[in-house]
Structure 1
Amino acid sequence: MTAQKNQRKEYLCVKDLEKVLDSCTLELNQIDEVWPNLYIGNVRIAQNRAALQRMGITHILNAAHSKRGSIGDQNFYGTSFVYCGIPAEDSSYFDLDIYFRSAADFIHKGLKTPDGKVLVHCIMGMSRSSTLVLAYLMLYHHMPLRSAIQRLIRKRAIYPNRNFLALLLDLDLQLKRKRKTCVLL
């Protein structure tokens, strides 16, 4: 029975993750620091360059690049910020996983720069941006998906859509397999 229970814990499903997300009691803010010097925010704060400069933000990852209502490119931010745009759609069919590695690399490089502070945003700062931050925590900090979600919901109200949760579950499984392979070698 215990082996079965452990096996069940190992294989999460989207519904399990939604239960964890539903346990969050935080209000949605414009911006929250979710990891040291890593912020998730909405488009409103992302378009307020003066506020971003006061906060010391140095890097901006826009997970809604070229979407209606999301102004943003290097010209908009000038030389004050390093900008990266991902043309993601918050939909049930968008393959955001093709950007997991490049987004994680951008976040990591931004945090490694002297005094680096990274803002990851989309329109509301709940689905696309949080998905990319979760992927970063999984790829660079070797956090299992459930642990990464639990960590983030202590700092911000997030809610990746079901498609993005499924993509994160796939990443989680890939990373677990890779770790097991490395241990066996």
Structure 2
Amino acid sequence: MDTEEICRNTETDKAKKWEMAFKARMRQVVPGLFLGNVEASHKRDMLQENRINAIVSLADARWVWWNSSTRNAGIPEHRHKWIQCVDSSTQDLFVHMSDICDFIDQMASPAFLSLSSLPVEGYHESNSESHDEPCNAVLVHCDLGISRSPTIIIAYLMRKFGISY
């Protein structure tokens, strides 16, 4: 393999990683609490499929755009907590932590709020609310879903269940 071919393969790999990074995706961390990226936050079909009706956005974007984008996805303004923050090791998320955790508590489903410990692997949906009842699932996202939003979810779970890191 010559140098030119190696460079082409490297560039192709980088392009695939960026394409994957910006593809809408979300994952349920615990029943009723989802982690995702910015693309997932305004995909109405994904939000409905996962029964998400509240969002925490951690991004350095203009609120005007964000507000109209999530409203178009069916999330009303009062169910959207937006924290303007950058993806940087110097960004202080701690100053927002209590407000964000309180918001998640206000928006979460009664079934989620009644959990007294982290669900174990193999948790079955039959243990949660029936599909006939509204499930107030919450999506926490940042741009790519790999730094700010996982930090908030970890902090929230630590607070909720009284566990240490």
Pairwise TM-score range, normalised by the shorter structure: 0.5 to 0.7
State the 1:144 CA deviation.
1.0
Cα pair 1:63 1:87 within 8 Å, conserved: yes
- Residue in structure 2 matched with residue 149 of structure 1 by the alignment: none
CA RMSD, Structure 1 to Structure 2 (Å):
2.6
Choose between structure 1 and 2: higher helix proportion: 1
1:136-155 residue pairs with structure 2 within 5 A? Answer: 136-145=156-165
Identify which of 98, 101, 109 aligns with 1:101: 98
The total of aligned residue pairs comes to: 117
After the TM superposition, list the runs of 4 or more consecutive aligned residues in structure 1 that deviate by more than 6 angstroms: none
Choose between structure 1 and 2: higher strand proportion: 2
**Which amino acid is 1:72 matched to?**
W
Which blocks of at least 5 consecutive residues in structure 1 are unaligned? 1-27, 146-185
Structure 1: distance between partners of 2:69 and 2:80: 9
- Residue in structure 2 matched with residue 126 of structure 1 by the alignment: 146
**Which amino acid is 1:115 matched to?**
C
Identify which of 30, 38, 46 aligns with 1:43: 38
Q: Deviations over 1:68-93 (max 9, x none)?
A: xxx522x3333832211011111121
Cα pair 2:56 2:82 within 8 Å, conserved: yes
State the 1:65 CA deviation.
5.0
State the 1:130 CA deviation.
0.6
**Which amino acid is 1:40 matched to?**
L
Structure 2: distance between partners of 1:99 and 1:87: 10
1:151-162 residue pairs with structure 2 within 5 A? Answer: none
State the 1:38 CA deviation.
0.3
Structure 2: distance between partners of 1:78 and 1:42: 17
- Residue in structure 2 matched with residue 60 of structure 1 by the alignment: 55
Identify which of 28, 32, 35 aligns with 2:27: 32
Cα pair 2:109 2:137 within 8 Å, conserved: no
Structure 2: distance between partners of 1:31 and 1:54: 11
3-state DSSP of counterpart to 2:140: strand
TM-score by length of 1: 0.56
**Which amino acid is 2:149 matched to?**
S
Percent sequence identity is 32
State the 1:95 CA deviation.
0.9
Rg bigger for which structure? 2
